[in-house]
Amino acid sequence: MYIKKRLDLEVLKRNSTSEISYDKLDPILVAHRYKDPNISLVCALFAYGNVKQIVKFLDSLDFSILQKSDDEIKESLKNHYYRFQKSEDVIALFIALKRLNEKSTLEAIFKSGYTKNNSVIDGINELIKTLHVEYPHQSQGYNFLIGKITSKTKGAGALKRWMMFLRWMVRDDNIDMGLWHGIDKADLIMPLDTHTFNVSLKLGLLQRKSYDLQAAIELTQTLKSFDNNDPLKYDFALYRIGQEKIDV
């Protein structure tokens, strides 16, 4: 059980607010500033690419416009773009979130899918579907941003940014914010990125060589043998080990 002991020590070391700073960049830095599910989702969905560019983009956003009219949102974001997303894609996400919150909440919509089978994938599918309904917008950049409804796990995208958002919302420690309640931590699935994927393969935590949703589920199952109730407590530690190129 050397690997478990090694990771448990890393979890203790990383579970500190000092891990969330401009010296140790992570998109959760911006999400922590507001502790709001809608702002957190924006932070999570744009969390791809170079972390300095991610945080720079998130810092440029005026999140107060989530309470404003469609026209005000369009005006405020007309010059904002990020990698695959043009300004109209950024605008679409903000308007969809604003309209969703006029009728319900992200938490309620997620739970409407999740509670049927305790499936976070079903909950995510409900959120993706609702965002499309509230503001129908199709483009390659937007479809990449919010993802597509997932019905299979093998060969499917790992839903990394959505799984990370759920970790932030459900877990509650010095890193994660625990803004949602009534969702079991044991049902969460690892937010599999290239760092956690490569480190997990190296440590023998993961056998599957394909980077997909099935690999994320398999890694989660392995980590449940370390902590059945809270397998994702290892996520941030594994991510930092990979990001910082620490020998394991």
Low-confidence ranges of the chain (pLDDT < 50): none
Q: Nearest-CA neighbor of 125 among 166, 168, 84?
A: 166
Q: What pLDDT is attached to residue 247?
A: 80
Q: What pLDDT is attached to residue 56?
A: 97
Distance CA 166, CA 235 (A): 12
Q: What pLDDT is attached to residue 78?
A: 97
Q: What pLDDT is attached to residue 211?
A: 95
Domain ranges across the chain? 2-243
Q: What pLDDT is attached to residue 245?
A: 86
Q: What pLDDT is attached to residue 153?
A: 96
